[in-house]
Structure 1
Amino acid sequence: MCVAILVGGVPGVLAGLAVGFGTHRWLMRQRGTQAPRLAEVEVRTALAPAGDLLAACLAAGAGPRESAEAVGRSLDGPVAERLRQVAAELRLGGEPAVVWRRLAALPGAEGLARCMERAGISGVPAVESASRIASDLRAEQARAATARARRAGVLVTLPLAACFLPAFLTLGVAPVLIGLAAGLLGHT
């Protein structure tokens, strides 16, 4: 609409339509590229609590399959869904080395899946390693959040610089330069 008003007439309407269409396509492309990233963030956010719950179930004496089933039923989202799938396949006699790879396919879940796989195959206690992995996942989340906050702080300063720098140049530097130039030109 602004383009149509600024340009005016039929060329303005055509330019407005072109800008609107281009903006729509750009927004759709942005949404398409952000969807996988948002899904990965959702998975990584759910992994630490799932790891804590798996460790608690294992500490209570449940096996890897029972732990996966209990945690899968108590949570929502892609991690819980994958845990329910793993538990169902293990209940039906699936090979732990193959089944736990389905959990490992989620971004960031490799360590937790390996830990649960080892516990399911060899019976090695996995409470400490599952707790450590959950703690590592939480620390990774904190580092990523700090990095995003720093990046946001930098991105917030860009519009401020775009506004204040021209104002500073216009109101602060330009009068001094004009005064100096007038002084130099007036004395020669």
Structure 2
Amino acid sequence: MTLAATLLALALLLTGREGGARMATWRSTGERIDRPVRLGSADPLAAASTFDVLSACLISGMAVSSAASAAALSAPPGLARVLTRAADMLALGADAATAWSDPGPPLDDHARALLRLARRSAESGTALAQGVAELAAESRSDAADAAKSTAERAAVLIAAPLGICYLPAFLCLGIVPVVVGLAGDVLQSGLW
């Protein structure tokens, strides 16, 4: 039992997982919700699912502030901060351009794209739901492309050690005996 606990502690130490981190968010009713924060393991599809939730809420007829607040509950931390800020400002009566303005430097690409889309929607009067649905599809496509490039990179990195190990073995066990056998036959019978 002690060996298993030691190995588990070693695995947790090596992977760098922190299990106790939590982030507090508030609903529009003022109720506090504690949710775990996953440090170190960013889900590439988390933004796409957040955009899907936001789009579904907007299509169903929810107000933008309520939809942003609902989507922020399951969003990655950077996107959740943007959605919560916009929801709070819209609920207080701020105009859409102010609510969807840039809150500060630590923003990821998904949050920036949502801010641009929401500001453009507020200026032109176009429906935000369709644009958010397109952002979700684009995020899924980007995640698939990233996974594919990672798999291709892994295939290349795996092929090099295999070539280094198997090529000499193939030469020593496959080619050299054939050449030695042919050379022995040629030398015994003579060249003419």
Structure with the higher helix share, 1 or 2 = 1
Of 163, 166, 184, the match for 1:164:
166
Opposite residue 177 of structure 1, the aligned amino acid is: V
Of 175, 178, 188, the match for 2:177:
175
In structure 1, the partner of 2:50 is: 50
In structure 2, the partner of 1:96 is: 97
**Which SS does the other structure have where 1:157 is aligned?**
helix
Alignment deviations for residues 117-141 of structure 1 (CA, whole Å, 9 cap, x no partner): 2334554321111111211211221
In structure 1, the partner of 2:80 is: 80
- How far did 1:110 drift? 3.4
* Structure-to-structure mapping, 1:1-188, within 5 angstroms: 42=42, 44-91=44-91, 93=94, 96=97, 99-102=100-103, 105-186=107-188, 187=190
**Which SS does the other structure have where 1:114 is aligned?**
helix
Alignment deviations for residues 92-150 of structure 1 (CA, whole Å, 9 cap, x no partner): 54773574434993124433222222334554321111111211211221222122222
Whole-angstrom distance in 2 between the partners of 1:40 and 1:111:
23
Q: Is the 8 A contact 2:50 2:74 kept in 1?
A: no
Moved more, 133-142 or 117-126: 117-126
Q: How many residues align?
A: 151
In structure 2, the partner of 1:3 is: none
In structure 2, the partner of 1:11 is: none
Q: Is the 8 A contact 1:43 1:106 kept in 2?
A: no
Gaps of 5+ in 2: 1-15, 17-38
- How far did 1:44 drift? 4.6
Gaps of 5+ in 1: 1-30, 32-38
In structure 2, the partner of 1:18 is: none
TM (norm. structure 2) is 0.62
